Homo-oligomer: A and B are copies of this chain.
């Protein structure tokens, strides 16, 4: 199955969305949809996301020893990009990159809606 439709939905409904992907915790991107606007050169998203996937893996492992319960969602606000990650399954997660002035609340909502749909296709 293709996740293209779900990812396209997320990107098109969130103001300031740069790209949305399904990624594995091994750092490999399963599928990506980029916004139409010219963004290449500004950010090396793939490198960034591999790094962030690594962080998310650590959080997932930390949650097993801490009493926080499972980690569902992580957001990282950097100067040039806001990154939202949402767990889909123990192996996969959704990641959405937004411009710093993008609609963060809407992005969270869109990922929350998309996650079960993507999970159903895995």
Contact residues on A (Cβ < 8 Å of other chain), bracket: 20 to 34
Chain B residues in 8 Å Cβ range of A74: 74-77
Given known contacts A74-B77, A78-B72, A51 and B62 CB-to-CB distance under 8 angstroms: yes
| Contact string against B for A residues 77-97, beta-carbon threshold 8 Å, 1 for contact and 0 otherwise | 111110100000000000000
Q: How far is the CA of A104 from the CA of B80 in the complex (A)?
A: 22
Q: How far is the CA of A72 from the CA of B78 in the complex (A)?
A: 6
Number of copies of this kind of chain in the complex? 2
Q: Are B55 and A67 in contact (CB under 8 A)?
A: no
Q: Are B66 and A71 in contact (CB under 8 A)?
A: no
Chain B residues in 8 Å Cβ range of A77: 71-74
